[in-house]
A and B are shown apart, each in its own frame.
Chain A
Amino acid sequence: MPTDELESHLRSTFARAAADFENPDQARQRLLLRDYHPRRGNRRLAAGITTAAALVVGLVAVIAAVGHGPATRATPLAAPALRTRLLAAIDTASGDILYAHGGPAPGGGGTFQSPAYPQPGQKVHIRILGLGSGGAIFKDGEYSFMMPSGNDGANSYTSNLDQGGLQLSGTVMDVNHFRHLWGAWHSKFILGFTLDAAGIRAEIANGQFKVVGSTELRGQRAVELNINVPPNNEASPHVTTARLWVDATTYLPMQQFLRMSNGQQNVTDYTFLRPTAENLAKLRPVIPAGYTRAGRIQVTGPKPTMIKK
């Protein structure tokens, strides 16, 4: 066993050598831009996965992902009047806070995003809250950035996905509940997702849905829509079925259901919250008393080296 003094020198020298890594942010961005998943049959979905990995700011706009493949553009199926109402509803609620949560993962947490449908020049805040099966928080972070110009419509949204997402810079705040640390720093990141409301709006604007019928969801009247999924001959898994439920009164999205070719299913619930002070507070990670502010590396890196006395 090396002596305590030698171990102490080893720890401090290793810490210095590891900190000497040049441009870790760039390496990290390159890594997170890469696609670690098999190719899907749909470019939208693949792009969403890849670029969302770069940031994890929000949920992959899977509705947008399945609506129209690169090679197949289905005939619009939407009822024109309903399409108009759906688009108007999202536009009207564009300044709200969108809370998206659900899925098969235990706990789940969710994503709060404000505004729900950002316009160029608007400040966007996205908080990602991850909860474990026992309700304990394992992830709590916020990304803030300015929505760049030229991203105000369905076409620019989808073209951004095709190009691998938006290169952005902004502020990242992260609370590490394992180490009782928090930090905030300026950083560059990729906006690849998402903006669920924007993705859904893009799909509706392109008319890639048909009305299934009226139903009830969460005690409210809802309209069930079947999102058009183009034929897909590529390797599994890929989306085979996509459904969207919208509120029959407000016409805002309530729930999305996806079935994959391997049988897996995913449900995401949407809630639009008015931007009251109480709701806006939900965009900010909570820093429990006693947590220490630390630099980025300390917050996101490995357990700090302890020097033995």
Chain B
Amino acid sequence: MDWVSDAASRRQFEGFAVQASDSLLRTGYLMTGDARDAEDLVQETFLRVARRWNRVRSMDHPAAYARRILINLVLDDAGRRSRQQAELGPQDAAIDAADESATRALRDVDDLAEFRWALAQLPARQRAVLVLRYWADLPVAEVADVLGCSAATVTSTASRAAARLAQALTTSGLPSTGSTNRPS
């Protein structure tokens, strides 16, 4: 187990933690919709990175590795909570039409609590696609790498997720995941 164990290595880890924390917190916030959950996620992420720091520090992008851990923590947790939860929204045929309504719905968003609530209604994997693609601004191929799927799956999932997000924003008709309350 290669814990952070010498002064220079610790300094590197500390620098990494300072630099990465803001982005990870916000990613966790978008993934969970809750600031405290995001903090817990980042703490667990840092613990896991610290355990492997001697290997992680030689990577080109340690922050990307940490982000992958954080995303997988959310996905693992979601999987435990709801193995049977459907990961897909509308059928493909509905996607094109859904893009237009999604655009309209997003254009009208002025209550960010509502947006976070709607985001929380998505299956974790769809949420991860949107957060990685449109918040972290990762190329499709990198999102696919993080999630362990094909680029085509990322693209189609992004469309489905956007449609489902729009549906939640406009009709609030999606079935609840059971873990998130609608904001008052």
Contacts and interface: CB of A to CB of B under 8 A. Distances in A.
Interface of A: 1-3, 5-7, 9-11, 13-24, 27-28, 30-32, 34, 36-38, 49, 52-53, 55-56, 59-60, 62, 102-105, 108, 128, 130, 139, 237, 258, 260, 262, 264-266, 268, 297, 300-306
Interface residues of B, number: 55
A27 B135 CA distance: 20
Contacts of A2: 99, 102, 158-159, 162
Interface stretch (B16-24, B68-76, B77-85, B171-179): B16-24
Given A5-B103, A237-B5, A14 B11 contact: no
Contacts of A1: 155, 158-159
A296 to B, nearest CB: 8
A139 B13 CA distance: 13
Contacts of A28: 21-22, 25
A32 B20 CA distance: 11
Nearest to B58: A106
B6 A56 contact: no
Interface of B: 3-15, 17-19, 21-23, 25-27, 29-30, 35, 38-39, 42-43, 46-47, 49-50, 57, 99, 102-103, 106-107, 109, 112, 115-116, 119, 130-131, 133-137, 155, 158-159, 162
A27 B9 CA distance: 24
A128 B26 contact: no
A13 B22 contact: no
A258 B23 contact: no
**Interface secondary structure of A, over-half rule:** mixed
B8 A17 contact: no
B137 A302 contact: yes
Contacts of A18: 26-27, 29-30, 135
Nearest to A300: B22
B11 A7 contact: no
